Chain A
Amino acid sequence: MPAAGVVTIIAVVLIVLALVYYLVSTIVALRQITAGLDDAIRGVKGIIEKSAPVEEVVKDINGNLDAGVDLLEGLLVKKAGLVDAVGLVEGLYPGAAAEGLRNFPESKTVTPPRISEVYTKGTLTLARLGREAPIAAASPSGPVLRNVEGGSLAARSLYPENRQSRPEKLPRSPVIGTGAPVQYPPSEQRGGTTPDEAEIREKGPWSETAAEGIVPRDLGGSDAPREMLAEDPELGSPALGQTTGSEEPATESGIDPSAGDEADATSDAGPESPEGAEPDLKDAAAGPRQVDADSADTRNDT
């Protein structure tokens, strides 16, 4: 075989080897790609299956939310009016008024009142509950928003009238003294409670004196008619005081009656001195100071 033929064969063999190597490598790579695509398709199928009910559920959710928004918008506009409603929305969500209310296209042209510049969000929330709130409403006495006193009084109007009205007459606070709802005639009581029949039986006939009174009303007791009493205006004054009509102690600890039985004026009165100390009598025999004597003489002269 000539040398050229050998070279030709070698060249063809080399070309075939190159074709085999690269084509086999390409086949391997394509198979790996196929396996990867199978995995990807499996994942995509999972996505499709899992996301299938999403549209229906989300549409249902959006429908419910739309109904809620429609309801709240309608209620707000119905109760506060379109202008105030836009102002409230602008106050709570600055910039939202430009978009307007969804079901009220004309709200886009409304200039929102500057409610939020003065009132807090809490007030706005209260205001949303009713038209009684005077905010953003034209006041015949001028703008109330900058008037502290007017604004304070107006805050009461946030509540319905039947809530803010006071009861016609509340019971008065004092329950003892001249304002006590139950009055005990002085002629029937001089202190403590008025003894009833059971107490009189228990304590004896002497206790009836308290029930009968020391000076009966008909004989000019302190609760007798004014014309029967002496010319003493203080008798009719509240200085006489009233009994409480109750034995309940006025203080939390009450009164210890045994303390009075054991009291001794010679030992309990006066300042407490140290044991065995002599009384301080150094000034007992001293005369008046010279300045005091001079002052007394001057007064006598005038």
Chain B
Amino acid sequence: MTLWWIGNALLLLVVLPVVVYLLKGVLDAARSIEPSVRRIADSADAGSKDLDAVPLLLTTRDQVRQTVEVVANYGGSLDVIVDDAS
């Protein structure tokens, strides 16, 4: 009978607090992940919206191509007009 009471005491004073402590730790960790995941999701959405301007790169590419062509024509004309250094 005495051993039973000792077992009861261990259950109530040791096992139950340890179980509660461990489970609370797991729950706190899980809950702390959630805001971080939310922030990641928000950042991904913002990054995705920032990349909406990517198609404009096609316009930039075309304009750069045209600009370089103009520069090439201009340089070719200068090459003809202006004497070389040596």
Contacts and interface: CB of A to CB of B under 8 A. Distances in A.
| Contact-residue size bin, chain B (C-beta under 8 Å from the other chain) | 35 or more
B3 to A, nearest CB: 9
Contacts of B44: 39-44, 46-47
B34 A29 contact: yes
Given A12-B11, A43-B48, A58-B57, A37 B37 contact: yes
Contacts of B30: 25-26, 29-30, 33
Contacts of B27: 22, 25-26, 29
Contacts, number: 160
B50 to A, nearest CB: 9
Interface residues of A, number: 56
A29 B31 contact: yes
Nearest to A81: B85
A61 B71 CA distance: 15
Interface in A20-53: 21-23, 25-26, 29-30, 32-33, 36-37, 39-44, 46-47, 50-51, 53
6 contacts: A11-B11, A29-B33, A42-B44, A46-B47, A46-B51, A61-B61
Interface of A: 2, 4-5, 7-8, 11-12, 14-15, 18-19, 21-23, 25-26, 29-30, 32-33, 36-37, 39-44, 46-47, 50-51, 53-54, 57-58, 60-61, 64-65, 67-68, 71-72, 75, 77-81, 84, 129-132, 160
